[in-house]
Structure 1
Amino acid sequence: MALSFLRSSVIARNVKRQLYQNKRNAGYVVLIPEIGEDAENTLLSDNGLPEFSDLSIEKCIATISKQSLEYEQGVRQIEHASEDCKNAFKEVFTPLEKLDTQLELTWGMAKTLYLGNSSLMPTKSYIQIHERAHKARSTKFNSEPIFQAAITEKNRLKNLTDEEQRLLDKYILEGKLNGLDVKGIKRERLNNILSGLQKERQMFRDKVNIANKVFTSTITDPSVMREFPDSLLQSMTLGSDPTKGPWKVTLQPHIYEPFMQYCSDREYRWNTWQAHVQRCSNYVNKEIETGSNLENIRGLRKEQAAILGYETYGDMSMETKMAGSVENVNNVLDSLLESARSMQDAEIELLQRYAQERGFDVKLEHWDIPYWQRKQKWSLYGFDEEKIREYFPLPRVITSLFNLCSKLFNIQIVERTGPHTWHKDVKFYDVYDESSQAPIANFYLDPYARQDEKIRIYDDAGWHIAIRNKCTSTATTPLSALIFNFQAPTADKPSLMTFNEVGILFQRFGHSLRHLLTKANYSEVAGLSNVEWDAAEVCGQVMTHWLYDPETIRSVSSHVETGEPIPEDIVKNLRNIRGHMSGYNLCKELYLSRLDLELHTKKDFWRDIVRDMWPKYHALPFDKYDSHPLSFTKIFSEEWGSAYYCRLWSRMIAADIYSAFEEARKADQDILEVGKRYKDTFLAVGGSCHPSEVFRRFRGRDPSPHALLQNLGLPKKAMIEE
Structure 2
Amino acid sequence: MALSFLRTKVITRHVKKQFYQNKRNAGYVVLIPEIGEDAEKNTLLAENGLPEFSDITIEKCIAAISKQSLDYENGVSHIEKSTANCKNAFKEVFQPLEMLDGQLELTWGIAKTLYLGNSSLMPTASYRNIHERAHKARSAKFNSVPIFQAAVNEKNKLKKLTDEEQRLLDKYILEGKLNGLDEAGGKREKLHSTIAELQKQRYMFREKVQLATNLFTSTINDSQVVREFPESLIKSVATSNDSSRGPWKVTLQPHVYEPFMQYCPDRSLRWNAWQAHVQRCSGFGNKDLESSTHLERIRGLRTEQAKLLGFETFVDMSMETKMAGSVENVNNVLDSLLEYARPMQDVELDSLQKYAQERGFDFKLEHWDIPYWQRKQKWSLYNFDEEKIREYFPLPKVIHSLFNLCRTLFKIQIEERSNVHSWHKDVKFYDVYDESSNKPIAGFYLDPYARQNEKIRVFDDAGWHISIQNKCASTGTTPLSALIFNFQAPTDGKQSLLSFNEVSVLFQRFGHSLRHLLTKANYSEVAGLSNVEWDAAEVCGQFMTLWLYDPHTIQAISGHHKTEEPLPDKFIQNLQNIRGHMAGYTLCKELYLSRLDIELHSKKAFWRDLVKELWPKYHALPFDKYDSHPLSFTKVVSEEWAAAYYCHIWSRMIAADVYSAFEEARNANQDLLAVGARYRDTFLALGGSCHPGEVFRRFRGRDPSPQALLNNLGLSKKIVEE
TM-score, normalised by the number of residues in structure 1: 0.96
The unaligned stretches of length 5 or more in structure 1 are 15-27
Query: Does the 8 Å contact 1:6/1:127 carry over to 2?
Result: no
In the other structure, the counterpart of 1:308 is 309
In the other structure, the counterpart of 2:55 is 54
Q: Which amino acid aligns with 2:594?
A: S
Query: Per the alignment, in what secondary structure is the counterpart of residue 260 of structure 1?
Result: helix
| Distance change >3 Å, CA 715–CA 305, structure 1 → 2 | same
Q: Distance in 1 between matches of 2:384 and 2:209?
A: 34
Q: Which amino acid aligns with 2:715?
A: L
Q: Distance in 1 between matches of 2:30 and 2:204?
A: 16
Deviation at 1:187, TM superposition (A): 1.4
Query: Per the alignment, in what secondary structure is the counterpart of residue 467 of structure 1?
Result: strand
Q: How many pairs does the alignment contain?
A: 707
Q: Distance in 1 between matches of 2:181 and 2:712?
A: 45
Q: Distance in 1 between matches of 2:32 and 2:602?
A: 39
Matches within 5 A, 1:525-674: 525-674=526-675
Query: Does the 8 Å contact 2:442/2:480 carry over to 1?
Result: yes
The unaligned stretches of length 5 or more in structure 2 are 1-15
Query: Per the alignment, in what secondary structure is the counterpart of residue 94 of structure 2?
Result: helix
Query: Does the 8 Å contact 1:464/1:508 carry over to 2?
Result: yes
Matches within 5 A, 1:194-233: 194-233=195-234
Q: Distance in 2 between matches of 1:47 and 1:7?
A: 32
Deviation at 1:8, TM superposition (A): 5.7
Q: Which amino acid aligns with 1:187?
A: R
Matches within 5 A, 1:268-417: 268-417=269-418
In the other structure, the counterpart of 1:6 is 21
Deviation at 1:31, TM superposition (A): 7.0
In the other structure, the counterpart of 1:22 is none
Q: Which amino acid aligns with 2:45?
A: L
Query: Does the 8 Å contact 2:445/2:481 carry over to 1?
Result: yes
Q: Which amino acid aligns with 1:283?
A: F
Deviation at 1:562, TM superposition (A): 1.1
Q: Distance in 2 between matches of 1:442 and 1:482?
A: 11
Q: Distance in 2 between matches of 1:298 and 1:38?
A: 42
Deviation digits for residues 687-706 of structure 1, max 9, x if unmatched?
A: 00000000000000000000
| Percent of aligned pairs sharing the same letter | 73
Query: Does the 8 Å contact 1:346/1:719 carry over to 2?
Result: no
Deviation digits for residues 652-678 of structure 1, max 9, x if unmatched?
A: 000000000000000000110000000
Deviation at 1:231, TM superposition (A): 1.2
Q: Which amino acid aligns with 2:395?
A: L
Matched, 1:262 2:263: yes
Deviation digits for residues 42-66 of structure 1, max 9, x if unmatched?
A: 1101111100010000000000000
Matched, 1:89 2:90: yes
Deviation at 1:157, TM superposition (A): 4.2
Q: Which amino acid aligns with 2:234?
A: L
In the other structure, the counterpart of 1:18 is none
Query: Does the 8 Å contact 2:18/2:640 carry over to 1?
Result: no
Matched, 1:124 2:125: yes
Deviation digits for residues 265-305 of structure 1, max 9, x if unmatched?
A: 00000000011000000101110110000000000000000
Query: Does the 8 Å contact 1:482/1:508 carry over to 2?
Result: yes
Deviation at 1:6, TM superposition (A): 2.5
Q: Distance in 1 between matches of 2:646 and 2:382?
A: 30
Q: Which amino acid aligns with 2:219?
A: T
In the other structure, the counterpart of 1:24 is none
In the other structure, the counterpart of 2:687 is 686
Q: Which amino acid aligns with 1:268?
A: L
Deviation at 1:33, TM superposition (A): 2.1
Query: Per the alignment, in what secondary structure is the counterpart of residue 206 of structure 2?
Result: helix
Deviation digits for residues 201-239 of structure 1, max 9, x if unmatched?
A: 000000000001111110101111111111101100112
Query: Does the 8 Å contact 2:35/2:66 carry over to 1?
Result: no
Deviation at 1:240, TM superposition (A): 2.8
Deviation digits for residues 586-616 of structure 1, max 9, x if unmatched?
A: 0000000000000000010000000000000
Deviation digits for residues 384-410 of structure 1, max 9, x if unmatched?
A: 211211100000000000000000001
In the other structure, the counterpart of 2:12 is none
In the other structure, the counterpart of 1:495 is 496
Q: Which amino acid aligns with 1:652?
A: M
Q: Distance in 2 between matches of 1:678 and 1:77?
A: 41
Q: Distance in 1 between matches of 2:19 and 2:387?
A: 29
Deviation at 1:245, TM superposition (A): 1.1
Deviation at 1:4, TM superposition (A): 6.1
Q: Which amino acid aligns with 1:281?
A: S
Query: Does the 8 Å contact 1:652/1:704 carry over to 2?
Result: yes
Q: Which amino acid aligns with 1:6?
A: Q
Deviation digits for residues 536-563 of structure 1, max 9, x if unmatched?
A: 0000000000000000000010010111
Deviation at 1:576, TM superposition (A): 1.5
Q: Distance in 2 between matches of 1:527 and 1:559?
A: 36
Query: Per the alignment, in what secondary structure is the counterpart of residue 482 of structure 2?
Result: strand
Deviation at 1:718, TM superposition (A): 3.0
Query: Per the alignment, in what secondary structure is the counterpart of residue 465 of structure 2?
Result: strand
Deviation at 1:169, TM superposition (A): 0.1
Q: Distance in 2 between matches of 1:253 and 1:580?
A: 22
Deviation at 1:158, TM superposition (A): 2.3
TM-score, normalised by the number of residues in structure 2: 0.96
In the other structure, the counterpart of 1:176 is 177
Q: Which amino acid aligns with 1:447?
A: P
Deviation at 1:35, TM superposition (A): 4.4
In the other structure, the counterpart of 2:434 is 433
In the other structure, the counterpart of 1:21 is none
Deviation at 1:193, TM superposition (A): 0.4
Query: Per the alignment, in what secondary structure is the counterpart of residue 713 of structure 1?
Result: coil
Q: Distance in 2 between matches of 1:30 and 1:693?
A: 49
In the other structure, the counterpart of 1:67 is 68
Q: Distance in 1 between matches of 2:441 and 2:213?
A: 44
Q: Distance in 2 between matches of 1:364 and 1:436?
A: 59
Deviation digits for residues 346-378 of structure 1, max 9, x if unmatched?
A: 000000000000000110000000000000000
Deviation digits for residues 556-589 of structure 1, max 9, x if unmatched?
A: 1001011111111001101111100000000000
Deviation at 1:649, TM superposition (A): 0.3
In the other structure, the counterpart of 2:4 is none
Deviation at 1:30, TM superposition (A): 9.5
In the other structure, the counterpart of 1:17 is none
In the other structure, the counterpart of 2:511 is 510
Q: Which amino acid aligns with 1:190?
A: L
Q: Distance in 2 between matches of 1:173 and 1:591?
A: 30
Query: Per the alignment, in what secondary structure is the counterpart of residue 412 of structure 1?
Result: strand
Matched, 1:187 2:202: no
Matches within 5 A, 1:446-465: 446-465=447-466
Query: Per the alignment, in what secondary structure is the counterpart of residue 222 of structure 1?
Result: coil
Query: Does the 8 Å contact 2:533/2:692 carry over to 1?
Result: yes
Query: Does the 8 Å contact 1:518/1:686 carry over to 2?
Result: yes
RMSD: 1.5
Q: Distance in 2 between matches of 1:117 and 1:472?
A: 32
Deviation at 1:36, TM superposition (A): 3.7
Query: Does the 8 Å contact 1:30/1:132 carry over to 2?
Result: no
Query: Does the 8 Å contact 1:4/1:637 carry over to 2?
Result: no
Q: Distance in 2 between matches of 1:608 and 1:288?
A: 21
Q: Distance in 2 between matches of 1:60 and 1:6?
A: 20
Q: Distance in 2 between matches of 1:385 and 1:245?
A: 24
Q: Distance in 1 between matches of 2:163 and 2:385?
A: 48
Query: Per the alignment, in what secondary structure is the counterpart of residue 716 of structure 2?
Result: coil
Q: Distance in 2 between matches of 1:10 and 1:254?
A: 16
Query: Per the alignment, in what secondary structure is the counterpart of residue 221 of structure 1?
Result: coil
Deviation at 1:625, TM superposition (A): 0.6
Query: Per the alignment, in what secondary structure is the counterpart of residue 414 of structure 1?
Result: strand
Deviation at 1:241, TM superposition (A): 1.9
Deviation at 1:720, TM superposition (A): 10
Query: Does the 8 Å contact 2:36/2:60 carry over to 1?
Result: no
Matched, 1:45 2:60: no
Deviation at 1:251, TM superposition (A): 0.7
